[in-house]
A and B are shown apart, each in its own frame.
Chain A
Amino acid sequence: MATTTDTVLEVCDLRTHFHTDDGLVKAVDGVSFSVRRGETLGLVGESGSGKSVACLSALRLVPTPPAAHPSGVIRFAGKDLLTLPERDLERLRGNRLAMIFQDPLTALNPYLSVGRQLTEVLEVHEGATPAAARRAAIEMLTRVGIPAAGQRIDQYPHQFSGGMRQRVMIAMALLCGPEVLFADEPTTALDVTIQAQILDLIGELQASLGTAVVLVTHDLGVVAGTADRVAVMYAGRIVEEGTTAEVFANPLHPYTQGLLASMPRIDTPSRQRLAAIPGLPPDLGQLPSGCPFHPRCQQAGDRCRQAYPEVVIASPTHRAACWETEAVS
């Protein structure tokens, strides 16, 4: 087992609240997790559970307003990212902490050539000369599988296909060899056939650079093949966390159980209707009392309606927040 000195990023009790016209939205409300060097943490949950906001908060990229400044502590390289001066944070972003986004078409600047969007990263963080930056950018584009990178570097994002654009995004994020990469649903906008290629590519580069990856997805299938550990988010909190093997073999939280049951599998006929979790994801502006999952939970009892659950510890690496589950391991 890896020692704690391997931990590159530690998020403690992160809270990001939005002040909207409909009231206070607690998009992230007491989230804690950490990632080790070279590790992949899958951050899973239905849409609207706060996964993106959690990642953006770590880089302080959530617009304030409408959000209040995130609270908590995010330890990286001996510093707290949430209190770091803006100038110092800029030195880390895109350099030691990188992020890629769901839609590579809107995430790339349509008015600048792909090359310009890559070289500026090296110029800003490494003081590279334009010529050196260009050489490094071509090299990186080749590495992420862009054919004829020497020519394509002068083209614009709209001249690339969806998969190629995401490769460009990945190249851009990994140029400086970051210690942590937040990948926010990097394959959701892509064709199924291309999804696996992109995940493989991230895995390869991660292995060679030793980058820790926080892989955000709503698809447990993505997590199964790639993540070392899984954190399941519901309504702005992490409700279960464990190694991928533990979570898949022995899901503790009824929500995780529901997600697993609704996962398409190879061993069941595809016609068979998937057992979706009943009900709708909650409105974060009007959460029910107690456990926010209780209105959708078949096992919910009185305690669940009254107070947020205590943590159940199944193993040193596996825990969940649920009143009803038994900590059998």
Chain B
Amino acid sequence: MTGYLVRRVLELVPTALVIIAASFALVRLAPGSPFSSEKEISPEIRRQLEAKYGFDRPLPEQFVRYVRNLLQGDLGLSTKYPQRSVNEIIATGFPVTLSLAAVALVWSLLVGMTAGIIGAVRQNTVWDHSAMMAALVGISVPSFVLGPLLVLLFSLRLQMLPPAGWGDWRHLILPGLTLGTIYAASIARLTRGGMLEVIRSDYIRTARAKGLAERLVITRHMLRGGLLPVVSYLGPAIASMLTGSVVVEKIFNLPGIGPYFVDAAFNRDYFLVMGIVLLYAFFLLLMNLVVDLLYGLLDPRIDHA
């Protein structure tokens, strides 16, 4: 198991290098430059600025320097916010984004799995049809519609939750629901499909033949196999919740990392864009690894020796 883990982590190194090189190239080859919008600056100041960030050096040299700094955990300086390092910006914004994704994840799992299990166990009943109809709506409604609707209901009408901004955990509820709903819908469908496959299997008939009560048949015998498709979906889903938080953070005016990412891309804030891209990539790789390990724990036929 430890050997497997070490091997998997080592395998990530070339992947990470490719991601770093590709994102560096893409960011640098994009038209424009960090200082092109500020027309007023003189060529003199511009040269000084470029020297400060090392943009006057040849590209290969800049890349090597970037990777060297990266290895020391230094993501460089922002060109838009010169007094702040990329590390600082991520350190303030990312915890908010991460908490938002966590709320969205819990909500989507709770709702999605419940709806999917009910749909499968009560297949072709009113329960099943309503759950799957709700899932269809959940998948179809975009967050810039759902978000304002939730604010209208829970903040303006019921006055239960703050409509926007940042403070304590209560500010995360509505954004979390907005972000999580679309995933809840996908998880509901995956759960239902996985469970239905298991329900028809021979070993469920055996479990019933043993005299187990239906509740035990479901919880002990069906869930494991039935939820495996959801587990494989979680890796990409979590990564996509992190990146997908951009819109939700804008709607609810949350100080997460998302809005910085959009601004940085518009401003050609080279190091900030790179930093956030690499952060997302890191999480995607991490989540896929975690999911593989989880899968191995759930399915004894997979041997991570």
Contact = CB atoms under 8 A, between A and B. Distances in A.
Interface of A: 56, 59, 61, 87, 90-95, 98-99, 101, 103, 106-113, 120-121, 124-125, 156, 158, 169, 172
A90 B212 contact: yes
A95 B211 CA distance: 7
A5 to B, nearest CB: 26
Contact of B211 (A92, A106, A108): A92
Given A110-B300, A112-B220, A156-B300, A93 B209 contact: yes
A120 B210 contact: yes
Nearest to A60: B208
A110 B210 contact: no
B202 A106 contact: yes
A90 B211 contact: yes
Contact of B203 (A98, A99, A109): A109
A121 B202 CA distance: 17
Nearest to A91: B211
A179 B298 CA distance: 36
A124 B212 contact: yes
B255 interface: no
A58 to B, nearest CB: 11
B213 interface: yes
18 contacts: A59-B209, A61-B209, A87-B213, A94-B210, A98-B209, A107-B202, A109-B203, A111-B225, A111-B298, A111-B299, A112-B220, A120-B210, A120-B220, A121-B211, A125-B211, A156-B301, A158-B300, A172-B210
A99 B202 CA distance: 12
Closest 9 CB pairs of A and B: A94-B210, A94-B211, A93-B211, A106-B202, A111-B224, A156-B300, A109-B203, A99-B209, A107-B202
Given A112-B220, A112-B221, A158-B300, A124 B203 contact: no
A121 to B, nearest CB: 5
A172 B212 CA distance: 13
B92 interface: no
Interface string B266-305: 0000000000000000000000000000000011110000
Contacts of B220: 112, 120
B127 to A, nearest CB: 16
A56 B301 CA distance: 29
A140 B258 CA distance: 60
Interface string B207-247: 11111110010001100110000000000000000000000
Contacts of A158: 300-301
A255 B126 CA distance: 47
B206 A120 contact: no
A109 B300 CA distance: 11
Contacts of B210: 93-94, 120-121, 124, 172
A94 B209 contact: yes
Contacts of A111: 224-225, 298-300
Nearest to A86: B214
Contact of A109 (B206, B213, B216): B206
A221 B207 CA distance: 31
B201 interface: yes
A101 B202 contact: yes
Contacts of A95: 211
B225 A110 contact: yes
A110 B224 CA distance: 10
Given A106-B201, A156-B300, A158-B300, A101 B206 contact: yes
Contacts of B208: 61, 93
Interface string B84-108: 0000000000000000000000000
Contact of A90 (B205, B206, B213, B221): B213
A59 B213 CA distance: 14
Contacts of B205: 56, 61, 101, 107
B303 to A, nearest CB: 10
Given A107-B206, A113-B300, A124-B212, 5 more contacts: A92-B211, A94-B210, A101-B206, A110-B203, A121-B210
Contact of B221 (A61, A101, A109): A109
Nearest to B206: A107
B230 to A, nearest CB: 15
A103 B205 CA distance: 12
Interface in B177-225: 201-203, 205-213, 216, 220-221, 224-225
Given A111-B300, A158-B301, A124 B211 contact: yes
A112 B202 CA distance: 14
B228 to A, nearest CB: 9
B191 to A, nearest CB: 16
Contacts of A110: 203, 225, 299-301
Contacts of A121: 210-211
Nearest to B209: A99
A174 B217 CA distance: 20
Contact of A107 (B203, B216, B299): B203
Contacts of A93: 208-211
